Amino acid sequence: MTPWICATCCVEFSPSLNPPARCPICEDERQYVGAGGQRWTSMSELGQSHTNQWVEIEPCLTGIGVNPSTGIGQRALLVQTDKGNVLWDCTPLITAETIAQIKSLGGVVAMTMSHPHFYAAMVSWSQALGGVPILLPEADKDHVMRPDPAITYWQGDALTIVPGVRAVRCGGHFAGSTVLHWAAGAGGDGILLTGDTIQVVPDAGWLSFMRSYPNLIPLPGHVVRQIAATVAPLEFDRLYGGWWDKFLLQGAHAAVQRSADRYVKALD
């Protein structure tokens, strides 16, 4: 039995003898099945051609990606706190070296994800780290392709993962699209980890919001307003999106509000 991984979105499915017939994550209008049709891989196959990339981004924040990039380029972030480390987002590849590196930093007390496109091999990661709980918003339960007892669904608008680290549900791209607020990050100015709930764009100091990024489907103005209003009470100056080159080192709080205004104005 193999926990097959969709080659396009890199989401891992419940173990089966043969690959699943289809990938509901990719068939959804927010993703896509490539022109070549549905393709499957597995972690053992990925491990033959890929390695993990380990990047210390700033004190107590480490990025873990797959090299060369695969799927949609998923990258996880490890937030280290003295109350325990949190793994934000996930990747499709686990190596013994990465697990040893994480354990040398004290392991992980909880995993949580921005949205289903970053679920990747979360259940395998949980198992490799010793049965770490995976905390997901109930709103995205239908998008879980590998249900597991390690997954706990939370309801409501926010959940404290460890003291000082809080998952805040914004909605938008997915009903359960979440950001992670890390109060002590950036030397105490606060950091927001956003996946693509809030997307960093090339225009310096600006951000955006979409229902689908690959298919360029925008969000309604009232939803963009809701995302901006949800993060407005949070204190943060720095923002890291879901990819290596997507970050805003300062002024991120004002940038979210400014960018939401620009977006809604453009829709009008």
Residue of the chain from 26, 77, 94, 210 that contacts Zn ion (CB under 5 A): 26
The residue count for binding Zn ion (CB under 5 A) is: 8
**Binding pattern for the stretch 142-181 against Zn ion, x by CB under 5 A and - elsewhere:** ----------------------------------------
Cα-based torsion angle of the residue sequence 25, 27, 33, 37 in order, rounded to the nearest 10 degrees: 110
Distance of CA 133 to the CA centre of its chain: 16
Query: Which residue matches tokens 């990606």?
Result: 65
Q: Beta 238-241 vs 247-248: how paired, if at all?
A: antiparallel
Site residues for Zn ion, 108-127, by CB under 5 A, read 117
To Zn ion, the closest distance from the beta carbon of 263 in angstroms equals 17
Residue of the chain from 5, 9, 120, 170 that contacts Zn ion (CB under 5 A): 9
Q: Which is nearer to Zn ion, 9 or 66 (CB)?
A: 9
Which H, E and C letters describe 82-149, residue by residue?
CCCCEEECCCCCCCHHHHHHHHHCCCCCEEECCCHHHCCCHHHHHHHCCCCCEEEEHHHHHHCCCCCC
| Number of C-beta neighbours around residue 242 at 10 A | 25
184-195 burial code (b ≥16 CB/10 A, e <16): bbbeeebbbbbb
- Piece of 4-12, 120-128, 181-189, 223-231 that binds Zn ion (CB under 5 A): 4-12
- Piece of 148-156, 190-198, 220-228, 248-256 that binds Zn ion (CB under 5 A): 190-198
Q: Which is nearer to Zn ion, 6 or 260 (CB)?
A: 6
To Zn ion, the closest distance from the beta carbon of 242 in angstroms equals 8
To Zn ion, the closest distance from the beta carbon of 136 in angstroms equals 15
- Any alpha helices (H) in the chain, and if so which ranges? 24-27, 43-49, 96-104, 122-128, 221-231, 252-267
Q: Which is nearer to Zn ion, 111 or 186 (CB)?
A: 111
To Zn ion, the closest distance from the beta carbon of 60 in angstroms equals 26
Taking a C-beta distance cutoff of 8 angstroms, is the pair 211, 174 a contact?
no
- Give yes or no for residue 25 binding Zn ion (CB under 5 A): yes
Contact residues: Zn ion, CB under 5 A: 6, 8-9, 23, 25-26, 117, 196
